[in-house]
Structure 1
């Protein structure tokens, strides 16, 4: 969509939006270009065919046939309008005579161009969508790259909007924060793990706080602290594995099975680390701290 704005907003490089053509959109192909739009002022620095200055899509894409036949492929917007798009205008120079259906395309393009206005005193500029100022910033890119996986993939257009929902089926948007400590389905697993170890506690709102609190719930002894750290990391691994299997393999989620995974994998991990089991291994499933001799 082309918007001729009469307001007094500022361009990324300075200047007024008055009578400037504001293009909403970016070049098709790539999240970076999808977040760039072209603001046409005098049209001297904007390629007529290949820049996404009209409706967010380059005319070479929108009217590919006309671009292929044009002898003015590398002209700027100002040049093409100066040549004229009316009947007999030099901008309408083709490699050969157009077929009837191609003439219809040219007519459609001409009608689209008839709505374009710009201000000769204003230079063309690129605008960066991810920053409120319209100017490109490394920080804005960093924020996008570290965003939660599903939100990031949605922004890049790599997944459908409904795919951003939590895999538990709770109906909320999935983020790392939500998945770890807020989801009513997955949050239940923390209660089961604490009950298995024989401790009590609440779930903090933030992941970093959750890690610190959980690892000290069994007391301050170094051996207990290390074991609780292992359990927390193992929980994350189990949660992420189950989540990915549900997302990509369409498997069902069972909290009881997740609890069993935490119990068995923690045993295997401790065994791989040459941990000393004071009591028989079967006691691990009911009292892991006692089995390790730190209960």
Structure 2
């Protein structure tokens, strides 16, 4: 996929994600590389099309090197020749003059600076049989690294750089004998390297067994687009916040609400403080809390410490028959919800109340700003109870729990 095409598609994706079908400039609240990380890493899980494209190109490379049959392979071989000098490395001795963009991408797969490593070559392993199709120096048939890299000085001196494993010796009385040809006599240190090389290539060719390729990142040994995508999208070690965000997704709440909670825990929602930082709000006097009007509308203030909101949490915990000590931040409140109860359904129930609460607070805040609405502790608590009950029944249609039972003791409904 051409880079320009990829950028245009990503631009459309980002515009739709943050602004829907509306026109005009939108604020990208979370970096795109984080959006494309999987849910298990605490991210949104949208596929990165650039990485998907590379993984699909890898499928073509795998079909070429693993001996795929068909007219398509004969046509490609006749048009472009074989991948050179080793199928997993790619390239051609005559270069790419007259070659299509697709063939260039397939041949040079993994050498992109953007990805940062030759991921395809590192992901394949050659299993040597009779040595009839395995490059002695270029293929990773001894360990994970090709011999040309393990023994660079010997490779430079070798007069058999392009020979196959089966061409590097001969059989005599059912015993394999290695034969090396050098451009000059070896020095004493180089003789020591040769002994190390001979020790490394103890796996001699086997008569009657055909060479084969294996993909390291799949238990079956066969290349798959999914495993390649996971390799290409693998990032750094997850932080504490990432581990926390990964637990947001499994819930009975609607997807839109879960995504809002995911943004909220990263402080990536359009609170007045965030809008002031991005200069959407110009006057700092317009950045005070929509509920109390006494403090800057940060995420922690709006959802936790505001005098109009903190009683909501206490009321909800009394409803759930738990004691609650208000933490200083929204992430601490979320962690406290994760710590209540044992068992899958109990945890899902608590997480459902969390999602319903933050969603209700946010919607009420928007009503105050845009519809000049009013809020009360009782009305907010009632909305949390009603919305959480509806979401629970939507995910558990066979549940006999009535709204009256939900109001009295919701834990009995979801346990």
Give TM-score, length-normalised by structure 1: 0.46
Give TM-score, length-normalised by structure 2: 0.33
